[in-house]
Structure 1
């Protein structure tokens, strides 16, 4: 199940914001999406080795998946090379693309970038725009030193926040490989992307903790390992079925569904633990008699609880706001799989267990 966050799930269908989200997902992001790399420890561009390494890193980033290449790459060095090639170009020349090509990069790759003209460059239109994306100072020898800078890369093929999360994760991996530059990829949805990336592991850890807590509580009340294991297996089976069918029901893993999955784990135990505990405390020795007595004790109430929950949540399926429908889907599937396990699967498994594995011990709490 893919992790994603869809803003349309939080909005009524007639909201104008829905059209805005659709335009971003279907038109703008698939064609162009910029990622801003904040470089907090730029290289010494006057040093030929460091300048070459920086250039090679940029070329590698331009060859990454979904990258638009050098045509969509923006950083002050590219404009500075253009300036060095034609320092007298006017603003209109640059705007209409008649300012000439970049300076011969091979020379600077061998000798390092000539930073002596940087002051004139950064104060010449239209290059003054780089003042907002470039920080610099002068060293003790009055040489220009770039202290931080902005590197902008263009990408395509993004159609959702899930795709953007995958893209930003790959960007972070590149930054990790070039740790000497202390780079951070930034996007306006970075906080949501961090949530998307954290949801799968958080969900798995929380669900496993829930399963363990259920098993511990069952054992405390029954002092029966067999019954506790069966309760855990039943809850895991119900939760797995619910999650699997939610995927085919056009749901994706987000914080809302994560909460719904936890609700599922909490509700599913009600459909299995009653039949298990009634079976454990039963005094009959014959398995068939024990399961019949257990079903007589709790089957009707279990069925009534399931049907009433289903009837309450079914209308919510048609709610105009998506998050309500997601929770309704999870609870309805929990009812269906819970009744299936509580009335059929668990009784069959209980009758297949030897009495020694499904018998209440003398100090069993549920007998008192």
Structure 2
């Protein structure tokens, strides 16, 4: 009966079934809305924090009197106001900046050494250090660099062989070249010693002013008629693994020798550590660049390591110029700032870093190694973070006021730049002093 009476009441009321359920859903939604969800609480807390921050910044940027500390009131503020607002102060800042930059680029940055040596990251008691010490002794006494000649000359052609003799002379004229000619290895040297009883390297250095037109016909070109017997004779047949050659026989049964590829090992001395080997390999590469017709490649077991050292050698004028241009383009495209503001800020940042690293070398003999590279990266990251937090945030809030844009940009740029300097001191100076021990 209750069930029948309920149905009777429901169907005879002014509400339909759909309306009845809609009303119930609305009541449930109203009750749920009274309970704040997580997103609402989070947004509420964020709004409260933002309002507090805005009040602080509004107090700083408004005309309200702020209680200053003693040194701020009587030392820093008068000094900054005088330097920024007076003509003499501006001239003084400009003079000091130019002087510091001149000293940094003259006696600082060009002299920074790249010493990415693995021994710097090993503990002093490590047994591996003994291996490095042994290699240092060996490299200091004797080390060979492999030259791969991808396109050798026609040794029977006077002109082409003359150019190749110039290459041999220059390769063995480096400061670290081993004086004993027998320390250098090539099939060409053995061929002259074995078949013509001559030392071509000694002859080159004794007649370096007459490279192409030697009076001795043996050195004008190479007589390759005995090459076939030479290359098949012990122990010189071992050079078959270091030469790619062809023997062509014409209709008159006369053979001609064509050398397609060949190897030369030049010996050097006074090489100290990986930094010394890096310097030597770079000098050998410079020699190879002078003779592009031979397509010479340099090889050494530590070639990849020295290439990494060359890549990490980042402090130079070209890289600074590229960074300067890229930063200006990025700031103008992303932030939509005035072009002049971008130049002022980025010039200040690059100048500050140049002065820091220049004077670090000048005062502390700063060098690029496994300790200082992370420090440089940390400083750059902190500089970007300071730039975003201190400059952009204040710039956004101060845009509510009619402050002069140039004055505003200079003021906040100067403050954010100054904050980088003590951070660099705190991070770098202890590392520099500990690295000396």
TM-score (norm 1): 0.61
The C-alpha deviation readout for 1:225-269, integer Å capped at 9, x for no partner, is: 787666545543553354346545565225774453232122034
Task: Name the residue aligned to 2:375.
Answer: 260
CA distance in 2, matches of 1:260, 1:234: 20
Aligned: 1:52 with 2:162: yes
Which range moved further: 52-61 or 37-46?
52-61
Paired with 2:324 and 2:377, the residues of 1 have a C-alpha distance of: 10
Give the deviation of 1:36 after TM superposition: 0.9
Alpha-carbon separation, structure 2, partners of 1:260 and 1:207: 19
Aligned partners of 2:279, 2:285: CA distance in 1, in Å? 10
Q: Distance in 2 between matches of 1:226 and 1:46?
A: 65
The match for 1:65 is 175
1:239 corresponds to: 353
1:29 maps to 2:139: yes
Instruction: Say if 1:215 and 1:229, in contact at 8 Å, map to a contact too.
Output: no
Q: Structure 1 201/209 Cα, relative in aligned 2: closer, same or farther at 3 Å?
A: farther
Partner of 1:101: none
Q: Is the 8 A contact 1:81 1:105 kept in 2?
A: no
**1:194 correspondence with 2:303:** no
Q: Unaligned regions of 5+ residues in structure 1, if any? A: 87-103, 318-324, 330-368
> Is the Cα contact below 8 Å between 1:196 and 1:254 reproduced in 2?
no
Q: Is the alpha carbon distance of 1:105 and 1:41 closer, same or farther for their aligned partners in structure 2, counting shifts above 3 Å?
A: farther
Is the Cα contact below 8 Å between 2:144 and 2:266 reproduced in 1? yes
Structure 2 matches for 1:1-368, cutoff 5 A?
1-25=112-136, 27-69=137-179, 70-85=181-196, 106-110=216-220, 112-141=221-250, 142-201=255-314, 204=319, 208=324, 212=328, 231-232=345-346, 235-236=349-350, 238-240=352-354, 242-244=356-358, 247=361, 249=364, 251-254=366-369, 257-271=372-386, 281=397
Scaled by the length of structure 2, the TM-score of the pair is 0.53
Distance 1:52-1:133 versus aligned 2 partners, 3 A rule: same
On the 8 A contact 2:332/2:339 being kept in 1, the answer is no
Give the gaps of 5 or more residues in structure 2.
Answer: 1-111, 198-213
Residues 259-301 of structure 1 deviation map (CA, whole Å, 9 limit, x = unaligned): 53232122034456655568755699999xx99xx99xx99xx
| SS of equivalent to 1:139 | strand
Number of residues paired by the alignment? 287
Q: Please give the root-mean-square deviation of Cα atoms over the aligned residues, in Å.
A: 4.4
Q: Decide which structure has the larger Cα Rg and report it.
A: 2
Contact 1:214 1:232 in 2 (8 A): no
Listed one character per residue, the Cα deviations across residues 37-81 of structure 1 (whole Å, up to 9, x for unaligned) are 111111222334433332232123222332224343221112112
Supply the distance in 1 between the matched residues of 2:215 and 2:142 (Cα, whole angstroms).
Answer: 27
Structure 1 residues 121, 133: closer, same or farther in 2, change over 3 A?
same
